[in-house]
């Protein structure tokens, strides 16, 4: 474990600033803490509202992450309040939270960590707590106590596992009572993590790095010689999409599925006892709130629906056995060990999926390391893990965001021709509605353009079969499936009457405006059949129903696209895949329409530019965002009972009506 402390960067003569600095150093190391895990504190003296000096504990606040924490993330709690709470024999979670809040100097501050009383009873000025992977490997095996003793000797005080919060505070208080803490380096909490402390921030941080490094070296001595042979994984993207659909159905909401094929994931997925490992439990109980107690096990050629159904039944039995009045959570797994394929993590949002993926990747690495070094991985009993998973304080963190969710949350959308104009508007509106978007365009700017809306941009020529196959596979590999296809890519070829129409003009229009869409459908349909409320929206044109002279190559290709939509609707309805087409007209806020072009066209009709832009029955201007919003609606349950339809967005065109 690398020591990142740099004296030149460390704040001087500011306890809280120094606390922030060393906390961030810990947070940078994923092998120490992940996504809000761990907590740190500093005991200091501050002035209250009346100018009186008050001894306080500035401890990590709920909702803050050590990697990015700032001063407001350390609410100041009166030390006398915390120490009085520590004297009690019993204290409910609700009372603990309430009393800690009453002890805050700032009533608007975040809730102090559930470990605040633990930090208070440790007399050192600076206290650091992490869930270091190496320490968990030491403790989470049948001979954990033996390995901890052999690794650390008398340098660490060992505390048997107890419930975090007030119970842990009492256990720590008892463990350190009468001890000369200057002669020890910290505490090992069995199956939980490690504490280090000192009156000097650097020394406390140094001790954390030192003790974790000692654990890493101890484990390394027990590991067999590493094999240079890399585990080989199978690739089954349709299987991944089917797994994602099964999990989404069980959870009751669309989920992102992140497939990891890292070395740790490959080692985990290819072990002979994978099924058994998936029944053991997490590396630390703190993860349970995000990952549930167990991952899903899926055999190499297993049926995803049956596996997820079995997981749900097993989870219900686990709940029924340990519940004491709680309401059961959803039955869906949060991650899976997929034999010979990798590790798959699921989240209702991409953020959640990424968090769980990080936890899963560290978990499998620690589990495999422990298996190799100490012969077996052993987690806490189900009863203890249930207490954490259904702990009201932790559940409150997860539910804090509320139940309202964006229309397309968890759905995966692929939008072509997305670098500008209508395509970009569709991608942007879908992203605003919560979808995870992949935008495709021939223009290299697509990468930066999509990044600006939090989407993935891919460069591809959509007339190239291999390129189409690659973007579809990349989408599924990255997010686990496909739910929405907006096939928008197109060109407007130069106008020419039939007798003067060059064959190249005709062929190019059909290649881009019709055939590329057919090729895209061919590659996406197998995945859309495994989609969540799957929908295809093709972007047509007013020219389908009201063609203009001199626009044969464009109008005929778009008419063919219209017919392609109808055929797709007929073919895909039995699988629940909807296909509709939108016909925009007079959308002038695109790169195609420069001010010069608009002025020239308006003059041709004897109109001003504003009159020309609103030359429809409703006398309204049609913008790209209007089309994007309609496409987003067409892909939603609002159009859930509509397929094969043609939807105009043109303000009313008298030639069509």
Q: Which two tokens stand for residue 145?
A: 């106590």
Question: How crowded is the C-beta side of 361, counted as CA atoms within 13 Å?
Answer: 15
Q: 392-399 and 93-102 are packed helices; what angle lies between their axes, rounded to 10 degrees?
A: 70
For residue 554, indicate whether it is catalytic. yes
DSSP 514: I
User: Residue 87: exposed, middle, or buried by beta-carbon count in 10 A (0-12, 13-18, 19+)?
Assistant: exposed
> Of 594, 134, 45, nearest to 602 (Cα)?
594
Residue 97 CB neighbour total at 10 angstroms: 19
Q: What are the b/e assignments for 268-298, b being 16+ CB within 10 Å?
A: bbbbeebeebbebbbbbbbbbbbbbbbbbbb
Question: How far apart (Å, rounded) are the C-alpha atoms in residues 179 and 162?
Answer: 20
DSSP 327: P
Q: What is the 3-state secondary structure (H, E, C) of 199-237?
A: CCHHHHHHHHHHHHHHHHHHHHHHCCCCCCCCCCCCCCH
- Using DSSP, state whether 356 is helix, strand or coil: helix
> Of 508, 503, 577, 512, nearest to 539 (Cα)?
512
Catalytic, out of 21, 318, 390, 554 = 554
- Using DSSP, state whether 43 is helix, strand or coil: strand
Q: Which two tokens stand for residue 177?
A: 């009572």
Question: How far apart (Å, rounded) are the C-alpha atoms in residues 406 and 499?
Answer: 52
Bridge partners, 338 (sequence order):
298, 342
Report strand pairing: 193-198 vs 256-260: unpaired
Which residues are known catalytic residues? 554
């Amino acid at each position: 474990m690398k020591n990142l402390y740099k004296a030149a960067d460390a704040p001087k003569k500011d306890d809280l600033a120094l606390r922030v600095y060393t906390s961030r150093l810990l947070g940078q190391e994923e092998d120490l803490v992940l996504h809000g895990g761990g907590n740190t504190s500093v005991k200091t003296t501050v002035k209250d509202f009346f100018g009186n000096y008050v001894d306080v504990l500035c401890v990590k606040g709920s909702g803050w992450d050590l990697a990015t924490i700032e001063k407001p993330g350390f609410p100041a709690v009166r030390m006398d309040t915390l120490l009085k709470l520590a004297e009690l024999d019993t204290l409910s979670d609700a009372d603990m939270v309430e009393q800690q809040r009453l002890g805050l100097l700032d009533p608007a501050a975040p809730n102090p960590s559930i470990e605040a009383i633990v930090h208070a009873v440790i007399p050192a000025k600076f206290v650091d707590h992490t869930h270091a992977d190496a320490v968990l490997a030491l403790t989470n095996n049948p001979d954990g106590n033996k390995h901890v003793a052999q690794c650390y000797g008398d340098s660490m005080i060992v505390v048997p596992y107890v419930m975090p919060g007030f119970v842990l505070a009492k256990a720590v208080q008892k463990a350190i009572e009468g001890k000369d803490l200057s002669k020890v380096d910290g505490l090992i909490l069995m199956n939980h993590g490690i504490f280090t402390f000192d009156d000097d921030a650097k020394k406390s941080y140094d001790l954390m790095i030192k003790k974790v490094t000692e654990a890493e070296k101890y484990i390394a001595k027990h590991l067999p010689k590493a094999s240079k042979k890399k585990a080989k994984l199978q690739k089954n993207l349709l299987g991944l999409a089917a797994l994602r659909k099964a999990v989404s159905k069980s959870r009751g909401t669309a989920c992102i599925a992140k497939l990891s094929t890292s070395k740790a994931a490959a080692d985990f997925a290819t072990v002979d006892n994978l099924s058994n490992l998936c029944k053991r439990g997490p590396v630390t109980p703190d993860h349970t709130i995000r990952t549930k107690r167990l991952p899903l096990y899926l055999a190499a050629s297993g049926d995803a629906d049956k596996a997820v159904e079995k997981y749900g039944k097993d989870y219900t039995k686990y709940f029924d056995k340990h519940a004491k009045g709680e309401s059961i959570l959803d039955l869906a797994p949060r991650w899976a060990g997929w034999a010979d394929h990798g590790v798959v993590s699921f989240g209702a949002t991409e953020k959640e999926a990424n968090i769980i993926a990080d936890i899963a990747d560290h978990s499998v690495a620690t589990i495999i390391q422990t298996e190799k070094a100490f012969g077996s991985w052993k987690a806490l009993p189900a009863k203890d893990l249930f207490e954490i998973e259904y702990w009201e304080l932790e559940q409150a963190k997860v539910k804090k965001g509320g139940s309202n969710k964006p229309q397309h949350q968890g759905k995966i959308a692929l939008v072509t021709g997305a670098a500008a104009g209508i395509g970009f508007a569709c991608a942007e509106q879908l992203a605003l509605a919560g979808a995870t978007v992949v935008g495709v365009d021939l223009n290299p700017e697509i990468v930066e353009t999509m990044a600006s809306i939090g989407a993935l941009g891919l460069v591809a020529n959509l007339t190239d079969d291999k390129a189409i196959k690659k973007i579809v596979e990349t989408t599924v590999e990255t997010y686990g499936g496909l739910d929405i296809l907006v096939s928008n890519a197109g060109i407007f070829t130069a106008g020419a009457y039939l007798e003067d129409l060059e064959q190249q003009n005709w062929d190019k229009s059909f290649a881009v405006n019709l055939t590329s869409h057919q090729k895209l459908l061919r590659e996406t349909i197998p995945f859309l059949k495994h989609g969540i409320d799957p929908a295809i929206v093709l972007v047509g044109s007013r020219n389908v129903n009201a063609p203009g002279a001199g626009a044969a190559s464009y109008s005929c290709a778009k008419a063919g696209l219209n017919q392609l939509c109808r055929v797709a609707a007929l073919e895909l309805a039995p699988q629940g895949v909807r296909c509709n087409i939108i016909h925009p007209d007079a959308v002038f806020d695109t790169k195609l329409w420069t001010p010069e072009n608009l002025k020239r066209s308006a003059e041709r009709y004897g109109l001003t530019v504003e009159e020309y832009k609103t030359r429809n029955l409703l006398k309204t201007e049609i913008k790209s965002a209007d089309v994007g919003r309609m496409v987003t609606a067409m892909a939603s349950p609002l159009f859930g009972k509509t397929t094969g339809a043609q939807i105009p967005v043109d303000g009313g065109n008298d030639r069509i009506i």
